[in-house]
Amino acid sequence: MKLHEYQSKAIFAKYGIPIPKGSVAESAEAARQIASHSSTPVVIKAQVLVGGRGKAGGVKVAATPDEAEKIADQILAMNIKGLPVRKVLVDEVIHIAREIYLGVVVDRAARRATMMASSAGGVEIEEVARTMPEKILRVRIDPVFGLQDYQARELAFAIGIDKPLVRDFTTIATGLYRAFVDTDASLAEINPLVVTAEGKLIAADGKIVLDDNALYRHLDLEQLRDIDEESQSEKQARKAGLSYVKLDGSIGCMVNGAGLAMATMDVIKFYGGEPANFLDIGGGAKAEKVKAALEIILSDPNVKAVLFNIFGGITRGDEVARGIVDGLKEIKTTVPMVVRIVGTNAEEGRRILADAKMITAETLEEGAQKAVAAAKNK
Ligand code: GDP
Ligand code: MN
């Protein structure tokens, strides 16, 4: 779950990271009010859960409350990368001398949190990684000892932070790492971390991505979820307890098991198809879950065929097949369904599915090819 800039910065502030004075507004009039209580010009910033808002015209400076209202009105009418802007952050303007990147992510290979810093701030870090990877410096953080001051200083010197600011940089880096750990985040970043013309460090932008699997221990953070930003299908999937990620292809995937779902997507691609989603229906595959999953998959107009890839283990294949048939009864669709089912009672399962006019397959290769062919003929 991603947090908005204003939410992330509020968390950063609790950890001693300086942030600009500001508030969030849902209307142009509210933005004007905030601006009129601010002492300097303000910057109006679209609160949408994507990066690159600046480039898209979603970050603008206003010199007066009147102008703040006008600009807020414009930004609130915008769509940025497909997301409607429903809120703007109105921050007091800071005078930027330098922009730095500072972030913490989980490095899975190292099984450690890694802090990254770059003198090329203000640009999306993926872009820096692509074009000038040598500009990204990393330190791995020991989970027992946490971020050590010497590590923060090492980063500070490597990216050329002036001596008098190194202590503040260390405080900010330590605060960022603690915020990352305490919220069970998978990412916490400040981009840009600004060196102001007055020679101070301040977080001009903030981003936190929380680990959904840890949200149960953070009911306060769960409250921050912006349901407006979730797509309809993601909302449905979350309610039904399914892991679902929408993709751009034409072949819907219904699979029991996350690893199996990944393998299924690979094989679809291998045979020239494009998966329309990642979906793990989990163990059991009861009719209700199958139905919920199918509704979600079929709500995507790009879906031209659905491939079921079911591994019968503890759950028997015939039971899963009955679940699929029962689930399908309540859904009217002309989208062809291909089923590959193996494991315990697979033959019985396939017989039940063939009776229900589904295309069956014995191997994943066969299933994927049939699904790719069915999608092309649609
Ligand atoms: P993003 O494009 O979505 O990452 O949004 P940011 O919050 O990072 O803003 C993009 C750019 O706008 C920053 O890199 C800054 O150059 C500029 N910007 C943001 N806040 C301020 C501010 O308070 N003052 C000034 N002068 N520029 C700002
Ligand atoms: Mn930014």
Distance (Å, whole) CA 286 – CA 58 = 45
> Distance from the CA of 308 to the center of ligand 1, in angstroms?
46
On whether both 251 and 237 belong to a single domain, the answer is: yes
Residue 16 domain-assigned (yes or no)? no
- Residues 87, 100: one domain? no
Report if residue 203 sits inside a domain: yes
User: What's at 311, amino acid-wise?
Assistant: F
In a domain, 7, yes or no: no
What average pLDDT does the segment 303-325 reach? 87
pLDDT tens by residue, 93-103: 999 999 999 99
Report, as an integer, the average pLDDT of 301-306: 95
Ligand 1 site-directed mutation target among 95, 96, 125, most atoms within 8 Å of CB: 96
Both 246 and 345 in one domain: the answer is yes
240 and 366 share a domain?
yes
Asked whether residue 189 carries a pLDDT value surpassing 90, the answer given is yes
Pocket test for ligand 1, best of 3, 4, 47, 59 (most atoms within 8 A of CB): 59
Is 54 near ligand 1, meaning CB less than 6 Å away? yes
Each residue of 328-339: pLDDT tens digit?
Answer: 888 888 999 999
Q: Indicate the SS3 state at residue 361.
A: strand
pLDDT of 42 reads 97
Catalytic residue status for 101: yes
* pLDDT tens track for 280-301: 988 766 777 888 898 999 999 9
Count of domains forming the chain: 3
Q: Are residues 112 and 87 in the same domain?
A: no
pLDDT over 70 (residue 50): yes
| Domain termination residue (choose one: 34, 62, 92) | 92
- Do both 133 and 82 map to the same domain? no
pLDDT at 199 over 70: yes
**pLDDT number for residue 116:** 97
CATH assignment at residue 326: 3.40.50.261
Q: Domain for residue 12, yes or no?
A: no
- Asked if the model's pLDDT at residue 124 lies above 90, the reply is no
CATH of the domain at 128: 3.30.470.20
What pLDDT, in 10s, does the model give residues 135-147?
999 999 999 999 9
Q: Among all ligands shown, which has an atom nearest to the Cα of 100?
A: 1
Mean pLDDT of the residues in the chain:
93
The pLDDT value recorded for residue 336 is: 93
From the CA of 101, how far away is ligand 1's center (Å)? 12
Reading the block at residue 299, the tokens are 């709500």
Q: Are residues 73 and 158 in the same domain?
A: no
Q: Which one of 69, 189, 244, 319 is the catalytic residue?
A: 189
The reply to whether 5 falls in a domain is no
Ligand nearest to the CA of 80: 1
Average pLDDT value for residue range 112-120: 97
Q: Is residue 53 part of a domain?
A: yes
Where residue 37 sits, what CATH number does that domain have?
3.30.1490.20
Domain shared by 294 and 168, yes or no: no
Q: How far is the CA of 60 from the centre of ligand 2 (A)?
A: 13
Residue 222 is among the residues annotated as catalytic for this protein: no
Of the residues 162, 197, 222, which one is the last residue of a structural domain? 222
Q: Does 132 score more than 70 pLDDT? A: yes
- What pLDDT, on a 0 to 100 scale, did the predictor assign at position 312? 80
Are 88 and 116 in a shared domain? Answer: no
Q: What is the residue range of 53's domain? A: 21-92
Angstrom CA distances, 282 to 220, 242, 263, 290, stand at: 28, 7, 15, 10
Whole-model pTM over 0.85: no
Which of the ligands is closest to the CA of residue 62?
1
Three-state DSSP state, 22: strand
Looking at the domain assignment, is residue 322 inside a domain? yes
What is the Cα–Cα distance from 115 to 169, expressed in whole angstroms?
A: 13
How much of the chain exceeds pLDDT 90, in percent?
73
Q: Which long-range contacts (CB under 8 A, 24 or more apart) does 80-83 make?
A: 80/46, 80/48, 80/50, 80/53, 80/56, 81/48, 81/50, 81/52, 81/56, 83/48, 83/49, 83/50, 83/229
Nearest-CA residue for atom 16 of ligand 1: 122
Q: Is the pLDDT of residue 195 over 80?
A: yes
Name the residue with the closest Cα to ligand 1, atom 12: 54
Residues 242 and 372 in one domain: yes
